[in-house]
Amino acid sequence: MIDTIASFLATHGNTVLFAGLSILGVLSLLAGRALVWVGTSIKNQVASQIVVRALQEIQAIVVEVWQTYVTAITKGRADGKLTPEEAAEAKRLAWEKFVSNWGLKGLQRLARALGLDGVENWVKGKIESAVGGLKLTQQATAATARATTAPPQ
């Protein structure tokens, strides 16, 4: 048996060696690709978690500013609305709270996760969206309250 293997290798040794090295090369390439995929997947998961956390924080801050600043101002008004200057101040307060809560390192991590140089415009845009969502929720709640408390006709 050993003589047969030795004879085969003597005759076809270069081919066997080339085939073996080729298979090892392909396996190494596949392993490398798998590691890159795993690394990318982990980075994407971490980035996704950072962005989701930022969005949750923005939503909570907008509600907080609405509950404290906006409600205090609009309480005595017949129309219940802010002036444009007051609305701008509410958004500025939300941005400042976000910066305070996240700190410099948190803002840098968020920027990296988003692939941006800075996050101010992104965060302010999300604040605008959260304010819009809150207004819609308020309108729907008010309409439901009116409909359920209206006397039957």
Compare 30 and 103 and report the one with higher pLDDT: 103
Compare 65 and 3 and report the one with higher pLDDT: 65
Mean per-residue pLDDT over the chain, rounded: 80
Distance CA 35, CA 33 (A): 5
Kindly report whether the global pTM for this prediction surpasses the value 0.85: no
Distance CA 110, CA 121 (A): 12
Compare 2 and 57 and report the one with higher pLDDT: 57
Neighbouring CB atoms inside 10 A of 132's CB total 11
Distance CA 145, CA 65 (A): 23
Residue 146 has pLDDT above 60, yes or no: yes
Residue 39 has pLDDT above 60, yes or no: no
Contact 105, 119 (CB under 8 A): no
Residue 37 has pLDDT above 60, yes or no: no
Mean pLDDT across the stretch 29-39? 56
